Structure 1
Amino acid sequence: MDVPLNFNRQNSARFEREVSVDSVTVSDLVEQLSGFVRRQFPIFVFITSCCLALGLVYLFTTPPSFTSHAMLLIDSSKLRVLQQQQAPIGDIPIDTSYVETQVEILKSENIGLSVVKDLKLAEDSEFVGSGSGLIGWIKGLFSSFNVQPETKSDRVALGSFLAKRSVTRVARTYVLDIGFTSLNAARSADIANAIADAYIVDQLQSKYQATRRASSWLQDRIKELRQQASDADRAVLDYKQKNNIVSVGGSSDNPRLLGEQQIEEMNTQLGTARAAAEEAKARLERIDSVLKKDDAKDVPDATVTDTLHSEVINRLRNNYLDLAAKESIWSQRYGANHLAAVNLRTQMTEIRRSILDELGRIAQGYKSDYEIAKSRADGLEKNLEALVASSQVINRDRLGLSDLESTAKVYHTLYDSFLQRYMEAIQQESFPITEARVISAAAPPERKSGPLTLPVLGIAGFIGIMLSFGAAVLREAIDQVFRTSRQVESALQVNCLAVLPRLGPATGSTWLANGPAAWLGSGSSIVRSKPVAEKPERELENAGLSKVSDLITSVLSREATKNASIAPRHAAINKRLDFTNRPFLRQVVDEPLSGFAEAFRSIKIAADIGGSNRNHKVIGITSTIPGEGKSTVAANLAELIAHSGKKVILLDGDLRNPTLTRAMMPDSKAGILEVLNGTMTLDDAVCLDEQTGLNFVPGPLKSRLVHTNEVLASDSLKSLIDDLRQKYDYIIIDLPPLAPVVDVRATTKIVDSYIYVVEWGQTRKNLVQSQLLAAPELYDLLLGVVLNKADIRVMGRYEDYYGSYYDKKYYGRYGYSG
């Protein structure tokens, strides 16, 4: 994981703006994705190709399969012919859940096992064998060839059968699609039709079995209900007999008892008798009123019903009226006192008396009738009261009878209902009709259904892309090294000054580590100088040398003793630098139009531009670990600046491992230590490159120091650097790596800027970050980072413009070589 670092002073303002303003945009995501694909493109190609190859192998080794389809319709209209109740007009829609239930029934093992047994699929190698093709061959390697029992072979065949069968509902209709895939086209059609037939037979059998079970249960239940109804009827009769309850009619739901009928009849007779008595009483009262208001001068009022029908009264009344008429005539003619008129009036009185006698006789008859009617009504009333009293007792007994009759009625209703259902179930057993029917039988297909080339290759390609993507992500996760300038700037928050391409198989740090023989080969005439025996570091530590000057004097005295030919001093130093056998150290001079040289120019420009803010005359070159090519970078940078006409001096400041001195002055006898000690002047120690004018001060080649950090932090070195500042435009110091020793941190007082060399694709990010975090004083003076030994061809996968930048197509337009 990257460790964030604080910005150095030079670039802090720029990075603060970038961090605050910069955000992940779509273009950034596209660029990152394209870079990811470019970097891991070989992984994508390899894994996807392998998966496609496996897909092709599968296509070539797998035999073709054929799929047939049978269409089944779920229709409940057929059952309406069997229903006793009146069916509504129109079709009744089937519930969706019912159709889904039928789909699950078709998918059940019961249907599958029926087809397996009917078609004897357990004996077919397609269903019980390991299968054909590549997958079948692989399965056959791990399967046993033992003879399996019949039950187990059926289960194995059933498993293979269910894997090749498909049942789906066609959209939102009531049609079910039954499909089956087989290696034989005709076989697939036969099995698909067999599935439909097995489903219909299963439906018939299930209905028949359900009807049989229902009939058996209904028959037993009917027997129980018949016995219960009979017991209930017997209980009703026993109760009636015990309580003298006699039914004389009525409906079965409401039977009439004898007492109720007698009361009703008696009540009717009583009403009739009371009406007759009232009528007789009215006639009697009427005739009595007539007799009471009789006037001697008038004819009696005979407006009574019986008088109107009496012949005696009618005759007497007629005579009376005749005499009255004659009396009126005689009285008018002869006077009222005439004898004849008096006789007529006497006759009229006799007739009137006769009429009254007749009315009295009729009144006596009315009185007799009234008394008879009243006597009859009173008798009926007494009889009715006796019947009502007797009926109340019977009604109390009838309460228990109602319960018994209700129970008997319920048992009879249940008995009739179950008997009707039993008769319907018996009839339905003989109707072979189901809700489903085949509307399209399966036919042998003309084309294969699998394996299909495009889908198989598509799936293989998709799997390959997914696997390659996972492998690529894993590679990205474990690739914690620097490969692009963006990674450097993101992880270290410093400028990436340049990306230097790899020069060759035996260049840079490889030569510096192994000497000229590594560059020239075994036949080279230049041989690496063998260093003299060195004193162990422990001995130097115990020497008791506390001052740097004493340390330098001690080392030089020991070397002078061993090499007596060192005087005069300037004669022991090779004053000329020879790069004939070491071209990589001045690659920028030998090939000034190469991309390698152009990268060093960008480093120099960065130092020149940074000079407006800070003096960059003294530049230290360091790295994290040995072998990253810092010495090569230091030499080429010094050669480039010197070749441009500037006065440049290159110091080998790696006192423990002076790689530049071994490469450029392997025969040197003295160097920077002698200058610091005062035993040699700077002019005597400096070596010259005549072509570029570069001055070089070698390091201690014959001995190794322990307290090199004290030497680099000494006032003598600081004074030397101050003198060099007055004479030279640039001072390049090749410093030791940061991780093994602490020498670099001791140079922060004399060095203006540091250039940090990181080997491309090798040095881990966390190592560089941890070293820079441990040296904040160095980080503040960091001019930038140089990515060294980059494989430009591979870098095109990380950032596409690198490939075109170093390509002659663009770079050659300005006269540059590769």
Structure 2
Amino acid sequence: MLQTRIPNAHGPAQVQGNDTATFEHTVSVALGLISRQYPVMIISVLLCLGMAGVYLLSAPKRYTATAVLLMDSRKMQGLQTQVGAAGENPIDTAMVDSQVEVLKSETIASAVIRDLRLLDSPEFMREDAGLLNGLNQLFATFFPEEKQSDAALMRSAIGRIVSGLTIKRVAQSYVIEISYQSLSPDLAARIANALAENYITDSLESKYQASRRAAVWLQDRLKELRAQASSAERAVADYKAKNNIVDAGGRLLTEQQLAEINSGLTEARAKRAEAEAKLQRITSILNADESDPQVILNDLATVNDSMANPVITKLRQTYLDYAAKASDWSNRYGPNHLAVVNLRNQMREIRRSILDELRRTAEAYKSDLAIANAREQASQKSLNDTIAVSNDTSQAQIVLRDLESNAQSARALSDNFLQLYMVSVQQQSFPITEARIITQASELSTPKTSPKTALVLLAGIVGGGILAGLVAIFLEMLDRVFRTVQQVERLLQTNCLASIPIVGAGADQGANGSLSRLKALMPFPSDWMPSPRPRSRPIPPTGQPSRAVEAGRPRMDRPDDRQLTIDDSVGRFAINSPFSRFAEAFRSIKLATDLSNYGSPHKVVAITSALPNEGKSTVSEALAQTTAQSGLRTLLIDGDIRNPSLTHRLGRSANVGLIEVVFGKVDLKDALWVDPQTNLHFLPCVVASRFSNSSDLLASAQMQKFFQDMRGQYDRIILDLSPLAPIIDVRATGTLADSYILVIEWAKSKIEVVERVIQETPVVRERLMGAVLNKVNVAAMSRYDTHSGGYYRNRYYSRYGYVD
């Protein structure tokens, strides 16, 4: 089988999603998408531009006037000494943002409406201009509404003010811009200035009213706070005298006594623990096993008091000297020597003396422990008594602290309210505001701000581009058909043998006409071009052998009524126009079938498709004509028993065919049709009525024997089969065909359908030589194959003499 490049299943499919995809590939994909969908994209862009134009023509022109306020944080010098630190808080960022919201409030808008008498201004009340407002007014003429009340008119006017108003802070400064948009520049300037002035007036009025209310309330509250502070201070003095609470340097006497007794108790406990530890250690030494004197001596060394006792120290030293002598004499004279025995007796007496001395020390420790316990108990009793007294004093002190805290809070609150009252009186006499107008709006400095022509057109272009891209991508997602060779190879995992261009009814060109045009185009001598082949070959006289018999082909009579006359057939176009792309595509398929012979014979090549009307019969005819013209003994068989379209086209008058030959009703030579120009043999399929068991016929032993006989008589057998999806006849040809060629109609065959029928037909999948893209629109295909688009251009073919 022809070995061509079959892309990996994960290759092209992952190019866009792969992180290593190059910028060039992305640009190529985008350009390919634009080249395929540019009509729809242009329509989308023009539609958005048209909508933008309609908006520009219908939208009313609006003007924006701007007044500028400054929130001045500096106080007037004359009031700084009076208000001082207790005055107003300095202006901060949050306060400026709060004033922006105040400017947007309905209170300011209502004041502006009343000052300018906007409810009586027709110019202001018809602010809602535009296409929608015109439609509303048109309907209002047919359906008049009731007259609105004053409150409803005020709400409507406030809504207009708020909708046209824009308040913003300039960066992080204290400057606020007040902008108002209107159909009239003069009205816009007047409303912007009125907003600023009414804001200042409202701020002054609010400060005056707040100061007046604060002064009245502070005066009454100050009297109450002074009485509460005096009463709280008297309660503190009375409670101290009643509970005998005396302090020295800010600390109660019971607290000092409690600290001293607690220190003495801690020291008594430490001494008791020390005496108890010494007694336990001496007792453990005395209770040790006397059979091991060395243990007693070692434990004795760990007691400090025993080491400080001169008697024990002298006895222990004597014991150690005797032990050394006993060991030395025992080594010299033996352990049973009288001197050694005497030394051991003396050592035993010394140990007894040491134990007696330790018992006397233990008795002393017992006495010390008893004294320590008595001291600890006395300190604990004294501590308990002091704690009882301190608890009573502490309970009284808790109440005292609450009384003192209340007195201090009442006095501090009274002082603060006194200071606030003084500040309020000063502010009430001369209220000030931090805001002032630094720029007033004027009609001359009011520009047109809506609609912005450039911005609207740019939005239309951008929106149109986005819409065009989305529409193009959506159409690409819906385009689930085969359009490129790479797509066929990647999705079906097989070779794409050729792309057959579409030819119309008038596309048939004779060989003479093609060659004459080619001679005129190519710069070669006219005698270099081969002479056109004759359209037909003379039939040899009866009894005279033909060239087919001389070449070893099966001899048969070829009467005139069984000669193929197919000069006007699309399948004949490959013979009549040998220098066309159509003919070159079939030479490519023929070459693939030739190369497939290497290794194992592939004489029977079956042509099929997924669905009807994809051109499989035309491909079968053209491939058979091309193969026969090359000199191979070629047999074309119409194997589509259910719908023998090839027979209807090439041999309408045939009355016998494949079925009769297979079952031995007629001889092969009586059923064959012959093309006199290419010597192609065609075996039709004649079906008089509907044939239901066509698959049984194709799988029968007679059919297998017939094809086995044909393999010996012909070099190549082209078998036109039925489509894969509608019927199951192709599945019964596993013993007949050596390989299969799948015909796919360009831009029509659905990918899902072709993949499904290939999966459901294992015999075709395993022996599939390749696929053929049929009815290809070459100009459109170059737009879909961005990598090989130039391959389809005619100027490259014309260099080698090809003419479409």
For Structure 1 versus Structure 2, the TM-score category normalised by the shorter chain is: 0.5 to 0.7
- Distance (Å, rounded) in 2 between the aligned partners of 1:781 and 1:409: 105
Contact 2:207 2:431 in 1 (8 A): no
1:320-359 to 2 correspondences below 5 Å: none
- Whether 1:465 aligns to 2:451 is no
- Whether 1:198 aligns to 2:198 is yes
1:78 corresponding residue in structure 2: 75
CA deviation digits over 1:2-26, x for unaligned, max 9?
xxxxxxx987995459759985422
Aligned-residue sequence identity (percent) comes to 41
CA deviation digits over 1:42-86, x for unaligned, max 9?
221111111100101111222322222222212221356434468
- Distance (Å, rounded) in 1 between the aligned partners of 2:736 and 2:767: 11
Contact 1:130 1:139 in 2 (8 A): no
Label 1:784 to 1:408 Cα distance change in 2 as closer, same or farther (>3 A): closer
1:438 corresponding residue in structure 2: 437
SS, match of residue 722 in structure 1: helix
Question: Which range moved further: 650-659 or 602-611?
Answer: 602-611
- Whether 1:738 aligns to 2:756 is no
The one-letter amino acid paired with 1:579 is: I
Once the two structures are TM-superposed, the CA of residue 453 in structure 1 deviates from its matched residue by: 1.7
Equivalent in 740, 745, 761 of residue 759 of structure 1: 745
Once the two structures are TM-superposed, the CA of residue 170 in structure 1 deviates from its matched residue by: 1.6
Once the two structures are TM-superposed, the CA of residue 708 in structure 1 deviates from its matched residue by: 1.1
The one-letter amino acid paired with 1:645 is: G
Label 1:47 to 1:654 Cα distance change in 2 as closer, same or farther (>3 A): same
- Distance (Å, rounded) in 2 between the aligned partners of 1:218 and 1:657: 109
Which has the higher Rg, Structure 1 or Structure 2?
A: 1
- Distance (Å, rounded) in 2 between the aligned partners of 1:800 and 1:232: 96
- Whether 1:574 aligns to 2:561 is yes
Once the two structures are TM-superposed, the CA of residue 407 in structure 1 deviates from its matched residue by: 9.5
Once the two structures are TM-superposed, the CA of residue 121 in structure 1 deviates from its matched residue by: 4.1
- Distance (Å, rounded) in 1 between the aligned partners of 2:782 and 2:574: 23
Label 1:232 to 1:142 Cα distance change in 2 as closer, same or farther (>3 A): same
2:26 corresponding residue in structure 1: 29
- Distance (Å, rounded) in 1 between the aligned partners of 2:713 and 2:579: 29
SS, match of residue 47 in structure 1: helix
- Whether 1:628 aligns to 2:628 is no
- Whether 1:119 aligns to 2:116 is yes
Provide TM-score, normalisation by structure 1: 0.64
Label 1:446 to 1:110 Cα distance change in 2 as closer, same or farther (>3 A): closer
Contact 2:110 2:158 in 1 (8 A): yes
1:216 corresponding residue in structure 2: 216
- Distance (Å, rounded) in 2 between the aligned partners of 1:656 and 1:408: 115
Once the two structures are TM-superposed, the CA of residue 98 in structure 1 deviates from its matched residue by: 2.4
The one-letter amino acid paired with 2:489 is: E
Q: What is the alpha-carbon root mean square deviation over aligned residues?
A: 3.9
1:656 corresponding residue in structure 2: 642
Once the two structures are TM-superposed, the CA of residue 667 in structure 1 deviates from its matched residue by: 0.6
- Distance (Å, rounded) in 1 between the aligned partners of 2:412 and 2:12: 92
CA deviation digits over 1:387-432, x for unaligned, max 9?
xxxxxxxxxxxxxxxx999999997886675455334323312434
Contact 2:232 2:407 in 1 (8 A): yes
2:456 corresponding residue in structure 1: 456
1:702 corresponding residue in structure 2: 688
1:705-784 to 2 correspondences below 5 Å: 705-784=691-770
Once the two structures are TM-superposed, the CA of residue 677 in structure 1 deviates from its matched residue by: 1.7
Question: Which range moved further: 759-768 or 127-136?
Answer: 127-136
2:663 corresponding residue in structure 1: 677
SS, match of residue 635 in structure 2: strand
- Distance (Å, rounded) in 2 between the aligned partners of 1:92 and 1:591: 98
- Distance (Å, rounded) in 2 between the aligned partners of 1:29 and 1:808: 27
2:66 corresponding residue in structure 1: 69
1:189 corresponding residue in structure 2: 189
Label 1:409 to 1:495 Cα distance change in 2 as closer, same or farther (>3 A): closer
- How many pairs are equivalent? 586
Question: Which range moved further: 596-605 or 404-413?
Answer: 404-413
2:249 corresponding residue in structure 1: none
Label 1:629 to 1:429 Cα distance change in 2 as closer, same or farther (>3 A): same
Once the two structures are TM-superposed, the CA of residue 487 in structure 1 deviates from its matched residue by: 2.6
- Distance (Å, rounded) in 2 between the aligned partners of 1:220 and 1:436: 32
Once the two structures are TM-superposed, the CA of residue 779 in structure 1 deviates from its matched residue by: 0.7
Once the two structures are TM-superposed, the CA of residue 662 in structure 1 deviates from its matched residue by: 0.3
- Distance (Å, rounded) in 2 between the aligned partners of 1:108 and 1:204: 16
- Distance (Å, rounded) in 1 between the aligned partners of 2:578 and 2:587: 10
- Distance (Å, rounded) in 2 between the aligned partners of 1:500 and 1:165: 68
Contact 2:65 2:447 in 1 (8 A): no
SS, match of residue 578 in structure 2: coil
- Distance (Å, rounded) in 2 between the aligned partners of 1:704 and 1:450: 76
CA deviation digits over 1:321-377, x for unaligned, max 9?
xxxxxxxxxxxxxxxxxxxxxxxxxxxxxxxxxxxxxxxxxxxxxxxxxxxxxxxxx
Provide TM-score, normalisation by structure 2: 0.65
Label 1:650 to 1:68 Cα distance change in 2 as closer, same or farther (>3 A): same
Contact 1:11 1:494 in 2 (8 A): no
Contact 1:572 1:668 in 2 (8 A): no
- Distance (Å, rounded) in 2 between the aligned partners of 1:12 and 1:86: 96
- Distance (Å, rounded) in 2 between the aligned partners of 1:427 and 1:479: 83
Contact 1:127 1:161 in 2 (8 A): no
Equivalent in 79, 97, 101 of residue 100 of structure 1: 97
Once the two structures are TM-superposed, the CA of residue 448 in structure 1 deviates from its matched residue by: 1.8
The one-letter amino acid paired with 1:425 is: S
Contact 2:9 2:491 in 1 (8 A): no
Contact 1:131 1:137 in 2 (8 A): no
Contact 1:79 1:434 in 2 (8 A): no
Once the two structures are TM-superposed, the CA of residue 601 in structure 1 deviates from its matched residue by: 2.5
Once the two structures are TM-superposed, the CA of residue 471 in structure 1 deviates from its matched residue by: 2.6
- Gap runs ≥5 in structure 1: 1-8, 244-402, 509-568
1:239-250 to 2 correspondences below 5 Å: none
Label 1:137 to 1:571 Cα distance change in 2 as closer, same or farther (>3 A): same
1:691 corresponding residue in structure 2: 677
SS, match of residue 799 in structure 2: helix
